[in-house]
Chain A
Amino acid sequence: MLSEAETKLLGIMMMVIMLGMGASLTFRDFLIAFKKPKGVLVGLLCQYGIMPFLGYLLAVLLGMPPALAVGVILMGCMPGGTTSNIFTYFSKGALALSIMMTSVSTLVAVVAVPSLIAFYSKLAGVSGEFAIPAANVAQVLVVLLVPTVIGMILRKTNPNIGATIELVGSMLGVFVILFLIGSWVPRNYQLLMTTPWPVFFAAIGLGLFGMLLGYWLARLLKQDNNRSRTISLETGIQNGPLAVLIVTITFKGELQQQVLLIPVLYSLFIVLTSSVITLWFRKNATREALARDSAKVGAAVSA
C-alpha cells in the first residue's frame, strides 16, 4: 500500500494537475461548447456510457473477486484523464475538443461518477466492505474542482503564469504515473508475478476496447475521422491517478493493496497502449491531410 506521505503527495500532485487543466480553459470555451454541444455530448456518451459498462462487463465476464471487481468498475467510471490532451496533440487530433471533453467530463463527474459506481457495483454484487461510499467520491471531485476554477482565473489574470501552470500540470500527469510505477511496482513485484492473466487482460482491455468502441460510436454519430480519433483517445484514457487517490482514501491495509491493483496496472499500460494508438492515428491524420492537399492542387490544376 501507499504510505501516508505518498498519499498526500499524490493528492497534491492531483491538485496541480487540475490547476493545469483549469489553466488550459477559459469561461468562453464552455459557453462555446454549450452553444454547439454535439461533439461534447457524443464524448460524454462515450465516456459515461461505454466505459463504466465495459468495466462492469470485464468484472463479470472474467469472474473477478469483489476487491478486483470494484477496482475495474471504479476505473471504468472515472472521468477523462488530462494526459489524453497530450496524446491528442501528438496524434494531430482536435485538441480543443479533447480539452473540452476532459473538463466537461470532470465537471459532470461530481454527479455522474458516484451514481455510476453505486449502480454498477450493485449490479455486479459488490457490497459491504468493498463498496466505495458515494460521498467519498463526490468529496474528492468537489475538492478538485477548486484548483480547476483557480486555474481558469489565473489564466485570465496572468496568461504567463496560466500557460506555465498548464504546461507543468500536463507534464505532471505523466510524472504521476511514473511515480506510481516507481513507488508501487518494486514493492509489489511478487504480487505482480502471481497475478493471474485475467487481471492483466482487464487492465489493458479496458483502455483498448474503450478506444475501439469510442471510435465506432463517434463514427456512428457522424463525427468526422479526426474528431472520432480524438473522442476515441479521450474515451479510452481515464483519469488513473484520480482512481488511485479515491482508493487510497477509501481503503486501508491489505484491502487497499488488492483494490489498487487494477487502477495501477491500468495507468501503467494505458501509457503504452495510447502511445501505440497515437502513432497509428498520427499516420492516418497525416495521410488524410496529404490527400486533402493534393485534392486541392488537383482541383486548381484542372480548374
Chain B
Amino acid sequence: MKADMPIYDTRPWEAAYGSAIARELPLPRYRNLAELAASACERYTEKKAFTAVVPNGMNGSLTYRQVGELSDAFAGYLREVCKLQAGDRVAVQLPNSLTYPVVALGVFKAGCVLVNTNPLYTASEMVHQFNDSGANVLVIVDMFADKLAEVIPKTNIQRVVLSGVSEMFPAIPNAIVRGVQKVWSQVLPPIPPLSIPVERIKTALASGKAHQSKAMGYWKDVPSSAVAALQYTGGTTGVSKGAMLTHANLMSNVDMVLAMGKSHHGSDECVLTALPLYHIFAFTANLLSFFELGGHNILIPSPRPVQNLQRAIENYPITWITGVNTLFNGLMNEEWFTAFPPKHLKAAIAGGTALHHAVAERWQKITGTRIAEGFGLTECSPVVTFNTLVGKVRSDSIGVPVPGTEVRLVNDENMPVPHGEPGELIVRGPQVMKGYWNRPEDTVSILKDGWLYTGDVAVMDADGYFKIVDRKKDLVLVSGFNVYPNEIEDALAKMDAVLEAAVVGVPDANSGEAVRAYIVKNPEFAGELTKDMVVAHCKSLLTDYKIPKSIIFRDELPKSPIGKILRKDLKAEVKAEFNK
C-alpha cells in the first residue's frame, strides 16, 4: 500500500502555503480550553471581547476581564450549586448573545462537557439530544422556555438556567429590548411550572460568584485528551449523534485557523459573528480563534432578515466576516451594504456549503477583499481544508489542507486513487474527533486507523488544491446544516396517509440545497393528501430547515430487488431535471 500513496504523503499543497503559512503547527500552549480562555483574559484584560448587537443598534459589551470573571462564576455555579463533576454534560441552547461565551467558557472551566443545541429545535429533537448526551443542566434562551413543559419530564435535566437575548446589556436598553419582545413581538412565553429548579442566568452567576476563585482548581487537571464538547450531527441512520471533540481537537483547529489567516492579522481584529455559535464553524472560527487572538467579536442574535446586520456593520470596524453562501449573497442584495461596504474589511471566510462562483466574484468587486472558502465537518472540529488568502484565487476549490493535517483520496477498496482521479476524502490530524458518544459501531464505520472517512468525493489538482465533486453519503446540505434523508422519511412515514417516502436534495439558489420528498399515498387512507398537509405534519416534528421544500406525489418509488428504496435513482432524476 505504501508505494501507492506518495502523491498525498508528499503534501504537494505545501507549496501553496508560500511564506505566509507555517508548515507545522505550533506546539500546544495550553492544557485545555479553560487555560486558553484564562490566558486570553489575562493578556487582553480591558479590551472588548464581545459586543452583542440587536437590529435597532442597541448593544451590550463584555471585556476580556469581565468574560474571565463571569465564566469563573458560572464554573463555580455548575460545580458548587448544581453539584456537577468533571465530565458532566451541560446543554446550551442559546442564540448569539453575551451569555453564550460566558456559559460556554464557564462549562470548560468547570471541567464539564458542552452540548451545543440549536435553539430552534422542536421538543422531540431536544428530548433526543438531552437524553443521548445525558445532560444534567440546561441553559436555554427564555424565548423558547414554553417547550420545557414537554421536554423536562422526559429527560434527566436537574436544573434549568434562563437567559434573554439582551442579557448583560445596560439597564435601559435591556428593559426596552425585553419590553419590545414581550409586548410588541410577543416572543416571551410564560415559564411553565416545572418540578426542578429554574433560575435566571443573573441569579446563577450571583450564586457562583462566591466560588469564582476556585475555578482554576476545577480545570487545572483536565487533560487535553478529555472531551470538551459533544457536537451533534445527523446520522446516516436517522438519529443525530454527538461527535466527541476533545480540548486538543478544538485547540489544534484554532491553531490551524489562525495559521491560515496569520498574514492578515493585526492587533485589533473585529469579527462579525452572524452565524450561530452553537454551530461548529462559528464556534471554532469566531469564538475560540478570535478569543485567542484578542479580537472583538460582534455577535448578532438573529441575522435574518439580513437588514438586521446593518447597524452592526455601520457601527463597528469589522475586519473579518464569516458566513455561508446565503449570507454573502443576502448582504450583496442590500443597498446599504453595496453602497458602503465595510471599509476595514480584510477577508471573509466561507464554509458550511459550497460558495457560488458568482457570489465570490461579486464580493471581491464590491468589498475589494476575497472570500476564502474552506471545507470541514463537525467530526473535524471542523476545518480540514482552506483557500489561502494570498496568491491566486481558485474558484470552486475547497483549498488546501490546513497545516498539521493529512488528507488522502481513496477508492472503495481503501486504496489511494492516482492523482487527478476522484476518491473519497479521508482526514487524519489532531482535529479529528475521538468518536461518537456512546456509539462504538458508528465510530468504527467512520474512523479507521485514525483516518476519518468524510463521505465526500473529491479530486486534487497538480498544486494540491482539492475540489468536491460528489457526496458519498446521502445527506442534504441546507444552508450549512446537515439533513439526513432517513430522519425526514421517518417523520413522513408517521402520517397515516403516507405509504412510503424518499427524500433527496435538490439544488436551491438560496440555501445551496433544499429537501425534496417523493411520496406515495397510502391506498388504504380514505381522505385527501395535500402538500400543505405534509408540510404541516413535518412542522410538528422537524426544525424548519428540515422541512421538504418541494413535494412530489408518485404512484411508486424506484426499488432494488430486495425492496430497498433507491435514492440514487431519484437523485439521477433530479440531476437530469436540473441539468436541462
Residues of A within 8 A of B (CB): 26, 28-29, 31-32, 35-36, 155-156, 159-160, 162-164, 166-167, 297, 300-301, 303
Contact = CB atoms under 8 A, between A and B. Distances in A.
A301 B315 CA distance: 42
Given A160-B58, A301-B551, 19 more contacts: A26-B314, A28-B314, A32-B335, A35-B339, A159-B53, A159-B58, A159-B59, A160-B59, A160-B170, A163-B58, A164-B58, A167-B56, A300-B506, A300-B514, A300-B549, A300-B550, A301-B552, A303-B550, A303-B577
Interface string B544-580: 0000011110000000000000000000000001100
Contact of A160 (B172, B314, B506): B172
B550 A162 contact: no
Contacts of A301: 531, 550-552
B7 interface: no
A162 B57 contact: yes
B550 A159 contact: no
B57 A159 contact: yes
A164 B59 CA distance: 11
Contacts of B551: 301
B56 A166 contact: yes
A167 B180 CA distance: 10
Nearest to A35: B339
Contacts of B506: 300, 303
Interface string B239-274: 000000000000000000000000000000000000
Nearest to B169: A160
B173 interface: yes
18 contacts: A28-B336, A29-B336, A31-B340, A32-B336, A32-B339, A155-B57, A159-B57, A159-B59, A160-B169, A162-B57, A163-B57, A163-B58, A164-B173, A167-B56, A297-B550, A300-B514, A301-B531, A301-B551
Contact of B339 (A28, A155, A156, A297): A28
A122 to B, nearest CB: 41
A159 B52 CA distance: 12
Nearest to A26: B314
Contacts of B550: 297, 300-301, 303
A160 B168 CA distance: 13
Interface in B292-338: 311, 314-315, 335-336
A159 B552 contact: no
Contacts of B577: 303
A31 B170 CA distance: 32
Contacts of A32: 335-336, 339-340
B176 interface: yes
Nearest to B172: A164
Contacts of A167: 56, 176
B315 A159 contact: yes
Interface string B508-549: 100000100000000000000001000000000000000001
B358 to A, nearest CB: 20
B342 to A, nearest CB: 12
A215 B311 CA distance: 31
A283 B53 CA distance: 31
Contacts of A155: 57
Contacts of A297: 531, 549-550
B492 to A, nearest CB: 16
A159 B339 contact: no
A159 B531 contact: no
Contacts of A162: 57
Contacts of A164: 58, 172-173, 176
Contacts of B549: 297, 300
Contacts of B59: 159-160
Nearest to B177: A163
Nearest to A168: B176
Interface in B38-79: 53, 56-59
B170 A36 contact: no
A176 to B, nearest CB: 20
Nearest to A155: B57
Nearest to B340: A28
Nearest to B315: A159
B339 A31 contact: yes
A159 B58 CA distance: 6
B508 to A, nearest CB: 8
A196 B506 CA distance: 68
A36 B335 contact: yes
Contacts of A36: 335
A39 to B, nearest CB: 11
A57 to B, nearest CB: 37
Nearest to B316: A159
A156 to B, nearest CB: 8
B296 to A, nearest CB: 15
Contacts of B508: 300
Contact of B173 (A35, A156, A163): A163
